[in-house]
A and B are shown apart, each in its own frame.
Chain A
Amino acid sequence: MTIRPDLAEKIAGRVRYATDLEVPGMLWGALVPAPVAHGRLRTVDLGPARARPGVVAISATELAALVGGRQGDRDRPAFPRERVEYLHQPVAAVAAPSLAEARAAAKAVRVEVEPLPVVSDVDAVFPDWPGSSAAQHPSVAAHVHARRGDVEEAFRTAETVVRETYRTASVHQVALEPHACLAEVEGERWRVRTSTQSPFGVREDVASILGIPEESIVVEGTWVGGGFGGKGASFVEPWALLLARAAGRPVRLALTYRQEFLLGRTTLPAVVRMETAVSAGAIRARRVRLLLDVGTSLPGRDFATGYSIGFLLGPYRTPTFEVEGYAVRTNKPPFGPHRAPFAPQCAFVVESHLEEVARRVGIEPAAFKAAHLWETGGTTPFGQPITDFGLAAAHAAARELADDWRRAAPPGHGVGLGMGFWSTSTGAGGEARVTVSADGIRILQGEREIGSGSVLVGLAAVAERRTGLSRHRIRVEYGDTASAPYDAGVFGSRTVGALGRAVDDALVQILGTLAQRAGAPTPVRLAEGERGVELEGRGQRWPIADLLTDEERAQGGLTAHGKHYGRGGKIDESLVVDGTFYAYTDFTGAAHVAEVAVDAQTGSVRVVRYAAFQDVGTVVDPPTARAQVEGGIVMGLGTALTEEAIWSAEGRLLNAGLVDYRLPTISEAPPIEVTFVEGHPGAGPFGAKGLGEPPIIPVPAAIASAVRAAVGAHVTELPLNPERIARALKREEP
């Protein structure tokens, strides 16, 4: 039986999301879009909008006055002053008594932009790539380069060299609930209720964008209708707050679905060049080059490139290598995180490429991969020691299942295997205030439940496991950024792993204090008794009520403040030639098996069944863990098969809606078998590893491998839509 405290409320339609917020006297906000993808801003005339009754309008010129003359981060102002850099970039905002009036007022704002040449994609910046290097090109936001060993010599002397180019598409998070918030400003108190994966992150962003001190900002998270990375940073909040300040009234601002697509910060297209040198069945050297479209991400601030490169080497021993990546600025919105940012794309590339390499040297792909797979105690190509890693065990189990499925597969079906590894963001810190009383355990923390269950279920499961107290006596509470202790956010699969450690830390303190007061033999646990919750040690029991001081009783129990600030590993910095590379905090991964049926005529793919072997360390709550894996896999099927945001040469998104940007539907979701590979503990409480992101990573790789097995099409681009499969089949024809 699932214990989700939010279940009944959600099924009854009683929870309120940010899109549902309304308060008396509030105004509705709307954004004024830039008419071209790149240009010099000539005029933003708010006059016609302001002439309408009840309308408030603001643009860059009002910024300083609205924030009391302070100066926000010059690199990312709320509204552009001189130049627009992507189509629909908000250049002004309005608020009005109704949404219809707000939209009409937004349309009335007169915007004049002198168009400049649009840099639409990475190919426009690097036409001769990979034959050229262009670290100094003005469109390069970041450049990373690292190498180990004599790469040229290894490639010159290898028996076989395989060179391929891969392309991956732009994908959106498409949380079902669009971004929305309600802002109120009173004097120096800037308050916003918002749908976010990180209330403290929003506070920090708002402070930096507007230039106001964090202490005067209060962010309260609402229920979140799905995040997937899209709600990890501030988005609509600065505009709503500025409008509320200008209007002197609360302002609600929500994006339409079209705006979600047009403005969303998400994974953008990439081109990857893969080269592998093999002798005597072993990888001698690899060269990986990446062009990652980062849209209007700020120069020098691109994390994605240095982080992704490692995932392009894959979880494979590689003695000699060279990696080079460019973050390329284009006239698109900034790059943003999408569930395991860019990792499913990397896994698709490295898995498909190594499968091709194995075939060329005549070795069964799974055997070739197994022979090179990282194991606990080894080191990564960047010289970081590999801590408990269960991918080899997961892969072995997946291989066996894949062989069974292969034997049973009818003609036209194909069985494929794909792997992926991940490092969770458990280094990002968190704190929790935990109180134990005769009534049970209360956990006060700063996050809202985004759907995965990691907050409401995960934290309670940690407390249950630590104390033995049953979960109906454990309550997870949240506060706004003024009342709750700090936490980095619900992202990076870190909630249980990091915030859960903070909860555990507080509970260990409390159990220690109680045991000492009772003189109880350790270890102690909590249990329900006649007088409420009791401390238990070696069969003896002490009612909690008797162990509290009068003051504690008056305050509702014994409270402890738990903290967890993790540490990452280290890489061998001597390998770095340019830019920043990142170490992993832990090692997790999965091996997936897919069976597909491919129509060789049309190239259409149906996923018949699917199995996942997940390296999780320890499962803290089996039903929510399984739900994460199922959800991640189906989201990955979208990345693998249908999802692709298509941008024109003018920087226009051509499919900004659900009709042309296709998500998986219920009848396309295959039956999924989930197996948890335990026993390779991670950094989380009780050895748990994060599970929000890892299940999506191997999906495109597994599907590509299955499609190849079914019809022989080696597709080197994502998504694997019918057109690309048909094209690959043509190529394969003798």
Chain B
Amino acid sequence: MSAHPLRLRVNGRPVELADVPVTERLLDTLRGRLDLKGTKEGCRTGGCGACTVLVDGRSTLSCLTLAQEAAEAEITTIEGVGSDAEGHRVQAAFEAVGAVQCGYCTPGFVMALTGLLKERGAAAPFGEFLEELGGNLCRCTGYGAIVRAAAALRAEAASR
């Protein structure tokens, strides 16, 4: 199996890895090599959203992304998202409404919502905005509190 050096930026810091197989998933690079375990491993098949990170600001499923595809990119994970203004707002909104139970979906939701707000802001209708989050599953909350957090964030974005 061929392996190559890989350079990326993770949470603002340069990362250089010597031998990263072409088949390695970004999820495993982050969790395994960089010990960034805040990104959760769920289904590994793109169905749950637990592994969501930002790649150059766009919400991305790290289980379906090859690490080498992310070469030279800027990766943001839950460990770093608090330094981003939008990410910080999302985390604060989650805390204010208590949009967390077991917390396993939480990092993925925070990242997806941050990416979506960056990309869309308050432009799209709320229903469509929520549909964009359909790839992030939560089995605990019934989504009610997450929807309340999203609504508050959108109202805030609209008033900016």
Q: What residues of chain A have their CB less than 8 Å away from a CB belonging to chain B?
A: 2, 4, 6-17, 19-20, 173-178, 223-226, 228, 256-257, 450-453, 623, 627, 630-635, 657-659, 663-667, 669, 671-672
Q: Does B95 contact A (CB under 8 A)?
A: yes
Q: Is B82 an interface residue (CB 8 A)?
A: yes
Q: Give A671 to B39 CA distance when docked, in angstroms.
A: 29
Would you give the 0/1 interface string for B116-151, flagging 1 where the beta carbon is closer than 8 Å to chain A? Answer: 000000000001001101111111111111110000
Per the 8 Å Cβ criterion, residues 73-130 of B in contact with A are 77-79, 82, 91, 94-95, 97-98, 100-107, 110, 127, 130
A199–B73 alpha-carbon span in the complex (Å): 43
| Inter-chain contact A630/B144, CB cutoff 8 Å | yes
Give the interface segment out of B2-10, B42-50, B64-72.
B42-50
Contact A15 B136 (CB under 8 A): no
Q: Which residue, of A10, A175, A633, has the highest number of chain B Cβ atoms within 10 A?
A: A10
- Asked if B47 contacts A658 (CB within 8 A), the reply is yes
B residues touching A (Cβ–Cβ < 8 Å)? 31, 37-45, 47-48, 50, 77-79, 82, 91, 94-95, 97-98, 100-107, 110, 127, 130-131, 133-147
Hey, which chain B residues are within 8 Å of A226, CB to CB?
A: 101-102, 104, 139-140
- Which B residues are CB-close (under 8 A) to A175? 102, 104, 139
* A672–B144 touching, CB < 8 Å: yes
Contact flag A658-B104 (CB < 8 Å), given A19-B40, A663-B137: no
Known: A11-B95, A19-B41, A659-B47. A225 touches B103 (CB 8 A): yes
* Between-chain CB contacts (< 8 Å), 18 pairs: A2-B98, A11-B95, A16-B37, A174-B139, A225-B103, A225-B104, A256-B44, A451-B140, A623-B98, A627-B101, A627-B145, A631-B139, A631-B141, A634-B144, A657-B45, A657-B47, A666-B143, A666-B147
**Which residue of chain B is the closest to A2 with respect to CB atoms?**
B98
Q: Which residue of A lies closest to B135 (CB)?
A: A665
Chain A residues near B138: list those with CB within 8 A.
176, 666
Q: Which residues of B contact A173 (CB under 8 A)?
A: 139
CA distance A663 to B136 in the complex (A): 11
Contact B37 A257 (CB under 8 A): no
Inter-chain pairs besides A176-B50, A665-B135, 13 sampled, C-beta below 8 Å: A7-B95, A7-B100, A11-B94, A11-B110, A20-B37, A226-B101, A226-B140, A451-B103, A665-B137, A669-B143, A669-B144, A669-B147, A671-B144
Does B47 lie within 8 Å of A176, measured CB to CB? no
Chain B contacts for A257, CB-based, 8 A = 42-45, 47-48
Contacts of B110 in A (CB 8 A): 11, 13
In the complex, the answer to whether A666 meets B101 with C-beta atoms within 8 Å is no
Expressed in whole angstroms, the minimum distance between the Cβ of A610 and any Cβ of chain B is 10
Chain B residues contacting A623 (CB-CB under 8 Å) are 98
B106 touches A659 (CB 8 A): no
A263 to B147, alpha carbons, bound, how many Å?
Answer: 33
CB <8 Å contact, A177 and B102 = yes
Cα A16 to Cα B31 with chains together (Å):
12
Residues of B within 8 A of A634 (CB): 141-144
CA distance A581 to B63 in the complex (A): 47
Nearest-neighbour CB distance to chain A for B153, whole angstroms, equals 14
List B contacts of A672 (CB < 8 A): 142, 144
Query: Chain B contacts of A631 at CB under 8 A?
Result: 101, 139-142
Among B39, B77, B95, B134, max chain A CB count under 10 A is at B95
Are B136 and A451 within 8 A (Cβ)?
A: no
From B37, B78, B101, A452 is in contact (CB under 8 Å) with: B101
Taken together as a complex, chains A and B put the C-alpha atoms of A538 and B146 apart, in Å, by: 44
Known: A634-B143, A672-B142. A13 touches B101 (CB 8 A): no
Q: How far is the CB of B30 from chain A (nearest CB, A)?
A: 11
Q: What secondary structure prevails in chain B residues at the interface with A?
A: loop
Residues of B within 8 A of A8 (CB): 95
A177 and B142 contacting across the interface, CB-CB below 8 Å: no
Docked CA distance A9–B40 (Å): 14
Q: Are A11 and B43 in touch, CB under 8 angstroms?
A: no
Across-interface contacts of A632 in B (CB, < 8 A): 142
Q: Is A4 a contact of B45 with CB atoms below 8 Å? A: no
State which of B47, B79, B135 has its C-beta within 8 Å of the C-beta of A13: B79
Interface centre among B79, B100, B131 (most CB of A within 10 A): B100
Is the beta-carbon distance between B137 and A635 smaller than 8 angstroms? no
Q: Give the complex CA separation of A623 and B98 in angstroms.
A: 8
Partner of A176, one of B94, B100, B131, B139: B139
A420 to B143, CA, bound (A): 23
Of A14, A176, A224, A633, which one neighbours B42 at CB under 8 angstroms? A176
Give chain A nearest CB distance to B104 CB in angstroms.
3
- Distance to closest chain A CB from B114 (angstroms): 12
Instruction: Report chain A residues within 8 Å CB of B134.
Output: 665-667
Compute how far the CA of A627 lies from the CA of B50 in the bound complex, rounded to whole angstroms: 20
Q: In the bound complex, how far is the Cα of B37 from the Cα of A658, in angstroms? A: 23
From B38, B101, B131, contact of A453 by CB (8 A): B101
Q: Name which residue of chain B comes closest to A695, CB basis.
A: B142
Q: Which residues of A contact B40 (CB under 8 A)?
A: 17, 19, 176-177, 225
Contact B45 A659 (CB under 8 A): yes
Residues of A with C-beta under 8 A to B105? 176
Cα–Cα distance between A451 and B91 once the two chains are bound (Å): 18
On whether A4 and B48 interact (CB within 8 A), knowing A14-B38, A19-B40, the answer reads: no
Known: A226-B102, A257-B43, A451-B102. Contact between A667 and B141, CB under 8 A? Answer: no
CA separation between A16 and B77, bound complex, in Å?
A: 15
Among residues of B, the one whose C-beta sits closest to the C-beta of A637 is: B142
Q: From residue A37, how far is it (CB to closest CB) to chain B in Å?
A: 24
Distance, CA A664 to CA B44, complexed state (A): 19
A672 to B142, CA, bound (A): 10
CA distance A657 to B48 in the complex (A): 10
Chain A residues near B37: list those with CB within 8 A: 13, 16, 20
B102 with A176: CB separation less than 8 A: yes
A627 partner residues in chain B, CB cutoff 8 A: 98, 101, 140-142, 144-145
Which of chain A's residues have a CB closer than 8 A to the CB of B77?
Answer: 13
* B38-A13 in contact (CB<8A): yes
In the complex, residue of chain B having the shortest beta-carbon distance to the beta carbon of A20 = B37
Interfacial chain A residues near B141, Cβ < 8 Å = 627, 630-631, 634
* Pairwise interchain contact B42-A635, C-beta atoms closer than 8 A: no
- Complex partner residue of A228 from B43, B130, B139, B144, CB under 8 angstroms: B139
What chain B residues lie within 8 Å of A2 (beta carbons)? 97-98
Asked if residues A666 and B102 are in contact (CB atoms below 8 Å), the reply is no
Supposing A631-B140, A635-B142, A669-B147 touch, asked if A12 and B82 sit within 8 A by C-beta, the answer is yes
Q: Which residues on A sit within 8 Å (CB–CB) of B135?
A: 665
CA distance A450 to B104 in the complex (A): 10
Measured in the bound complex, the distance between the Cα atoms of B107 and A332 in whole Å is 34
Complex CA gap A173/B135 in Å reads 18
Residues of A within 8 A of B39 (CB): 13
Give the complex CA separation of A43 and B143 in angstroms: 49
CB-CB nearest in chain A for B112: A666
Cα of A665 to Cα of B139 in the assembled complex, Å: 9
B102 and A11 contacting across the interface, CB-CB below 8 Å: no
Distance from A118 Cβ to chain B, minimum over Cβ atoms (Å)? 27
Q: How far is the CA of A450 from the CA of B91 in the complex (A)?
A: 21
Nearest B residue to A452 via CB reads B101
Min C-beta distance of A262 to chain B, whole Å: 14
| Residue from B48, B97, B140 having most chain A Cβ neighbours under 10 A | B140
B101–A658 touching, CB < 8 Å: no
Give Cα distance in the complex from A258 to B147, angstroms. 29
**Given contact pairs A175-B139, A177-B40, A10 touches B45 in the complex (Cβ within 8 A):** no
